[in-house]
Amino acid sequence: MVIQRLQIGAFRNISSARLDPAEGVNRLVGVNGAGKTSVLEAVHFLASGRSFRRGGPDTLRQNGSGEAVLSARIADRGEHALGVRLGEGSREIRLDGANVPGFSALAGVLKTIHYTPEGHRLASGGPRERRRFLDWGLFHVEPAYLDLARRYHRTLQQRNRWLKTGPSGPDPWASQLAASGEEINQQREAYVARLEGKVQEIFGELGGAGELTMGLEQGWPEALGLGEALERDRRRELDSTRMGPHRADLRLILDGSPARERASRGQQKIIILALRLAQLALALEVSGEVPVFLFDDVGSELDPERRRAAMGLLERYGRQVFVTSTEEALCPLPSSGIPAATFRVHEGTIERSE
């Protein structure tokens, strides 16, 4: 999967920019606050309709006003044109010249995996981020998973609405919810099992110390089927469903203890980088369709040896990669044969350097 052209208008501090990225490694170099992360954020937003930074959509529009415009031409098995306009409380999304109702219609047209300095939150923060990590990764290798997840969430919402009415009769949603919930769980289990080996291998290559293992907490008691768990919990439920894969978590264990308690901030970064790179490797292995990898601030995140190892892994598993750095020297170009480009970012302007 390759972005052939990216256009950014009135987004963060970028008034207007056009990039024709290389098919391989693209370096974005500039001082702090130049706008490098904003370029990665624009790509991520086109792929998912959300930012990897905090703040609502208004923080994306330049100075919080006007209209931000993002577009990209993507080449994969076919070619596609994506476009998004973000106005005040409005957004317009286009695919191949036609308006589409929401980002869900774009799912899979542009796939990205990102690693940012806030990435350690995946280890240290709450379970929502980890579920999202699992679900996107699964979708990258199993496109039908998206429909399954949507079906589950629709039923969950319907059941929660029903619970709010304070019902006393039989549960009309439980069996449907349990069926899709169990299926989600099975797919997540299988994905985690496949991912774990890759994560361990890559964690080792990145010089991560200790034994890293992973496991899935399914979101309801292990000994019960989901239908049974819902039935048993029925009396304690007030107005929302408390059991199910929407309450699942991904356990990250370092040397027998939860990584969030045991691992240092630096170790957490290596763990998360290993997770993201493992997702990339698995996508390549399973689907042959390689997501675009976005790597923010490679220089400050990793020491030289790990940086070299990370870039080597990206050469092995990645196809198109965007890395940001304050200095070129912190991010050497890949070995010969891999197309590469360097872009200088300066106060919101972007220029390719020869």
Maximum Cα interatomic distance, the chain, rounded to a whole number of Å: 71
CA distance 82 to 171: 42
32 binds ligand ATP (CB under 6 A): yes
Whichever of 112 and 218 has its CB closer to ligand ATP, that residue is 112
Q: Which stretch binds ligand ATP (CB under 6 A): 35-43, 86-94, 180-188, 245-253?
A: 35-43
Three-state DSSP class for residue 58: helix
Name which position in 3, 19, 36, 70 contacts ligand ATP (CB under 6 A).
Answer: 36
Name which position in 18, 64, 211, 232 contacts ligand ATP (CB under 6 A).
Answer: 64
Site for ligand ATP in 242-301 (CB under 6 A): 297
Output the smallest distance, CB 11 to ligand ATP, in A. 8
Ligand-binding annotation for 25, yes or no, is no
Whichever of 80 and 352 has its CB closer to ligand ATP, that residue is 352
Name which position in 124, 160, 326, 349 contacts ligand ATP (CB under 6 A).
Answer: 326
12 binds ligand ATP (CB under 6 A): yes
* Bridge partner list, 127: none
Pairing of strands 249-254, 212-217: antiparallel
Half-sphere exposure of 98 (CA within 13 A, CB side): 4
DSSP string, 115-146: E-GGGGHHHHS-HHHHHHHHHHHHHHH-TTHH
Ligand-binding annotation for 37, yes or no, is yes
Ligand-binding annotation for 204, yes or no, is no
4 binds ligand ATP (CB under 6 A): no
Segment holding 114, helix H or strand E: strand 112-115
Whichever of 287 and 349 has its CB closer to ligand ATP, that residue is 349
Q: Which residues of 214-238 are buried (b: 16+ CB within 10 A; e: fewer)?
A: bebebbbeeeeebbebbeebeeeee
Phi first, then psi, for residue 342 (nearest 5°) are -120, 130
Token pair 């031409």 is at which residue?
73
56 binds ligand ATP (CB under 6 A): no
Name which position in 62, 116, 267, 279 contacts ligand ATP (CB under 6 A).
Answer: 62
Annotated binding site for ATP: 30-37
Q: Which residues bind ligand ATP (CB under 6 A)?
A: 12-13, 30, 32-38, 59, 61-64, 297, 324, 326, 345
Annotated binding site: 30-37
